[in-house]
Structure 1
């Protein structure tokens, strides 16, 4: 991926600027590919992330702040994401009996089954995205990214 060609510039950029633009372009490309993989399920990447978090709760409910804390992409519209998943039947929402201000969210059986199907498609897409890297290169890339 040639950054200068993509952003259509002939000017020499500082290495720091070029690196950060490069990372942003790669992020956008990954987001697009995974988003396209999830399109048949009519679920966004953020909704997919919420379902994975809820599955990771192993049957225990999560509240909105737990979801927000664990989201890969931090956002303020977690309530809207949960509402959309609720409409699809993928989650249940109830008021906590001990604290009526607290809303608890659980993944449904339907949500778990759909998530299993999504996992397969996302894993295939992730493998396609990184197919040109060896395991060693991916480990090295992760070490470099950890420095951020």
Structure 2
């Protein structure tokens, strides 16, 4: 459905204003789709993001500061997310021996197993962009990169 129909508004100050609002609307739509996808796995978008970062580091650890730098949502409370993942035995943490102010975090075997299970289903969420061809998605990525430049 067209953006104007979704929000029941046809007049915009400019195409740039419309694009900005459309981007915000679509972002919220995708976030909600992701929430629904992650619910059966007992995980949130932010927790999944942290686990993917840790899997990329595996078998090395990374500090919570390093995780925050790589997060998609940099406003997330990484310490709280790590604490919740620790309770679920998906990550382990320990004080950094070189700097006691830092906490080093590693993904556990259980965390890796969860991601493996999710990998088999993750294509489903990527299909939310199913109306786009690979070429369309490439163009969208280029345009979004330009917006942030």
The normalised TM-score by structure 1 is 0.91
Structure 1 counterpart of 2:48? 48
Alpha carbons of 1:7 and 1:48: their partners in 2 closer, same or farther (altered >3 Å)? same
Structure 1 counterpart of 2:3? 3
Task: Answer yes or no: is 1:122 the counterpart of 2:148.
Answer: no
* Aligned-partner SS, 1:9: coil
| Higher RCO by CA contacts (8 Å cutoff, separation 6 or greater) | 1
* Aligned-partner SS, 1:93: strand
CA contact (8 A) 1:53 1:67 kept: yes
CA contact (8 A) 1:82 1:91 kept: yes
Q: Which residues in structure 2 correspond to 1:96-111 (within 5 Å)? A: 96-111=96-111
Alpha carbons of 1:3 and 1:107: their partners in 2 closer, same or farther (altered >3 Å)? same
State which drifts further: 6-15 or 46-55.
6-15
User: C-alpha distance in 2, partners of 1:10/1:101?
Assistant: 53
In the TM superposition, what whole-angstrom CA distance separates every residue of 1:39-86 from its partner, at most 9, and x where no partner exists?
Answer: 011110000000000011121111111010000111241111111101
Q: Quote how far apart the aligned CAs of 1:124 are.
A: 1.8
Structure 2 counterpart of 1:87? 87
How many pairs were matched up?
Answer: 147
Unaligned runs of 5+ in 1: none
Q: Quote how far apart the aligned CAs of 1:91 are.
A: 0.4
State which drifts further: 3-12 or 134-143.
3-12
CA RMSD of aligned residues (A): 1.4
User: C-alpha distance in 2, partners of 1:132/1:44?
Assistant: 26
In the TM superposition, what whole-angstrom CA distance separates every residue of 1:20-50 from its partner, at most 9, and x where no partner exists?
Answer: 0111111111111122111011110000000
Structure 2 counterpart of 1:21? 21
In the TM superposition, what whole-angstrom CA distance separates every residue of 1:75-126 from its partner, at most 9, and x where no partner exists?
Answer: 2411111111011100001112222222111000000000111222222211
User: C-alpha distance in 1, partners of 2:20/2:12?
Assistant: 14
